[in-house]
Structure 1
Amino acid sequence: MPKTAMSLQINSRSLARLVSNAGFRKMMTAAGARNYGKQLRQTVEKGGAVLPEKCSLQHLLDVSYDHLQKDYRHEYVYKTKLLSDFILKNYTFCDTIILNEFRLGKSVADIALINGSNKIFEIKTELDNADRLQSQLNDYYKVFSQVYIVTHHSLAAKYRAIVNHKVGIIEFTEDNYLQTIREATPDVGGLDNLTMMKALRKNEFLKIVTNINGALPETTPVKLYKTCLELIATIDPVSVQRHFLDTLKARITPAHQLLHTHAQALPEYLKFYCYLDYFSEKQYLALPSRLSCLV
């Protein structure tokens, strides 16, 4: 009987590097798709997989992703699940922006979501530890009002016990989907104006100052940034956060909205990559030929 991916000795770390944003970029040309497929095939066959003499790139990706979901749930798998099981089911990209690896103070949030509400998702896989968690949460609440820990079901009780009750908990279940087991409670008590402003691009920061003040402060170019920060520091943090969130929502592009149109036809593992890479209509239309490439 042919071995399945679940009973193999696949080098999961190598496979995880291929099933990722960086890996998927390799398949965006016809020649690249063939070479990428050969890499995938070599990796799974070394682990003992028995494959047809010729199989499609999509079949190789299905086998690879299935293996990673069950045996090596790296961060990309969690982000894929967040997009498919939580974001796409609850929000529309005409009024929602998601930000990947968003720097806030001394921490980097795995996923930030902004629409009518604002949420941070901190992913804690079985490969992670909780050493910096409290300082991360402190940084997140300086900017966002709702924070969720996303973790494996075997770790959910651990994180529920060590974080404040206002932090939401989402677990990766045995059946490979995400389930919210505790909703996040909104909290604006820790908002910090300077942390919010420093998370923005320069033009976004200056636009907020102009909107709040009516114009940029009259000062020298060298002193402009410092003067603007001093002005912002005097404003109510909840008001600053409203400007901050509106500014981030302005990053929504037609490319982001296209994902909603094409999401149904995409394999789960490609949706997050397509969103982050600002896929065009032409790229979506080219994907079936890339995925059907025989290796």
Structure 2
Amino acid sequence: MAYVRLKYSRDALRDYAQLLTRSEITKLVNEEDYSTLNYFIRTYDSSAFSSGKSYGDYYYYIYDVLRTHYGNEYVVKNEFINYGLLQLGLCSDCPAIHIFSEFRIGDVIADLALFNGHSVGIEIKTELDSPTRLCYQLDRYLKVFNSVYIMVPENCLSTYRSFAMEYQVGLISYNLQTRSFAMEMEAYQRPAPNPRQVMEVLHTSEYKEIVHSYYGIDTIEGRTDFNQFALYGEMLSKLPPNDLNSLFVSVLKKRGIPVTFFKKKRKELNQALLALHSDDVFREKLYRQLLQPISLQ
């Protein structure tokens, strides 16, 4: 295995990060297309990866490079999935947690969302980010999740502590070199989401399921395609907060990825598989593709 060097160009790090994007992983699995991989190997690593190694070896290597020198959002999410969940215990019964990467809330996207008994939203800020939109993001998160956290590098804690205090959200620090996550401030627990915001988060089938199951009905009398959003929203808004929260978490768990999906094998790819909402068939095909020996012909 090639050693991680002390220094890499910014262009090389950005190119390595590209190999972990959804588009590149999908191209590799569905088209068996190694062209981008081969181009980067020729450009940056031909002496170390010219022969005798697999494309999986190269993925191990680029991930270690990124973890050591780049620390982008992909790496933070991946390390959290592999190590932070168990270290922090944000939800009870960790193996039963269902997780989302990039959970849409209207016009903002939560970097991570966890559902199990209650809901947790996480906004990640890396050393490459700024707090410019953080107030706006937290305002939206607080209308949906029972608890909200900001996750930041250890050396950025002073920048974000005031935001955590003002909005009563939790603050988590991380260190990618030691693969450690620490709870710096606990989040205030909110009892239930905002019904109007819930309607914007849920798919049509999901808010229908909540209303039908609570009221014991198959449909709403007088419902049409034009008025159903308003009618279901009105009925959902009348649910007791505890029931709304419980039903909201229950339907979102069905859409999320169970933590048990993530394996110790090829741990550097867990976040890519989460972002793609992939199944076991896709994952096993990806693993087989990565066993192929590197061929630069």
Q: Does the TM-score normalized on the shorter chain lie above 0.5? A: yes
- Percent identity of paired positions between Structure 1 and Structure 2: 23
- 2:278 is equivalent to residue 275 of structure 1: no
> What SS does structure 1 have at the residue aligned with 2:6?
helix
Q: Who is 2:85 aligned against?
A: 87
Q: Who is 1:242 aligned against?
A: 246
Classify 1:212/1:4 alpha carbon distance in 2 versus 1 (closer, same or farther; 3 Å): closer
TM-fit CA distance, 1:88: 6.0
Contact 1:149/1:170, CA 8 A, preserved across alignment: yes
TM-fit CA distance, 1:276: 3.9
Return 18-27 or 238-247, whichever deviates more: 18-27
Q: Provide Cα deviations, 1:123-143, integer angstroms capped at 9, x if missing partner.
A: 111121111111211111111
Classify 1:13/1:284 alpha carbon distance in 2 versus 1 (closer, same or farther; 3 Å): closer
Relative to the length of structure 1, the TM-score reads 0.84
Q: Who is 1:217 aligned against?
A: 220
Contact 1:143/1:241, CA 8 A, preserved across alignment: no
In structure 2, what is the Cα distance between the partners aligned to 1:17 and 1:223?
Answer: 44
Q: Output the amino acid matched with 1:35.
A: S
Q: Who is 1:8 aligned against?
A: 8
Q: Provide Cα deviations, 1:226-284, integer angstroms capped at 9, x if missing partner.
A: 1221222233333212111111112357xx57624xx1222x21112223435444444
Q: Output the amino acid matched with 1:228.
A: Y
Structure 1: stretches of 5+ with no match in the other structure:
none
Q: Output the amino acid matched with 1:233.
A: S
TM-fit CA distance, 1:207: 1.2
Within a 5 Å distance, the mapping from 1:168-187 to structure 2 comes to 168-173=170-175, 175-187=177-189
Return 180-189 or 140-149, whichever deviates more: 180-189
Relative to the length of structure 2, the TM-score reads 0.83
In structure 1, what is the Cα distance between the partners aligned to 2:280 and 2:16?
Answer: 29
Contact 1:167/1:184, CA 8 A, preserved across alignment: yes
In structure 1, what is the Cα distance between the partners aligned to 2:193 and 2:287?
Answer: 45
In structure 1, what is the Cα distance between the partners aligned to 2:94 and 2:36?
Answer: 30
In structure 1, what is the Cα distance between the partners aligned to 2:205 and 2:38?
Answer: 44
Return 272-281 or 65-74, whichever deviates more: 272-281
Classify 1:19/1:44 alpha carbon distance in 2 versus 1 (closer, same or farther; 3 Å): farther
- 2:43 is equivalent to residue 68 of structure 1: no
Equivalent residue pairs, number: 285
TM-fit CA distance, 1:30: 7.8
Classify 1:228/1:280 alpha carbon distance in 2 versus 1 (closer, same or farther; 3 Å): closer
Q: Output the amino acid matched with 1:64.
A: I
Classify 1:236/1:43 alpha carbon distance in 2 versus 1 (closer, same or farther; 3 Å): farther
Q: Who is 1:53 aligned against?
A: 50
TM-fit CA distance, 1:80: 0.6
> What SS does structure 2 have at the residue aligned with 1:205?
helix
In structure 2, what is the Cα distance between the partners aligned to 1:195 and 1:214?
Answer: 23
In structure 1, what is the Cα distance between the partners aligned to 2:198 and 2:8?
Answer: 47
Structure 2: stretches of 5+ with no match in the other structure:
none
Name which structure has the greater RCO, CA cutoff 8 Å, separation 6+.
2
Return 105-114 or 155-164, whichever deviates more: 155-164
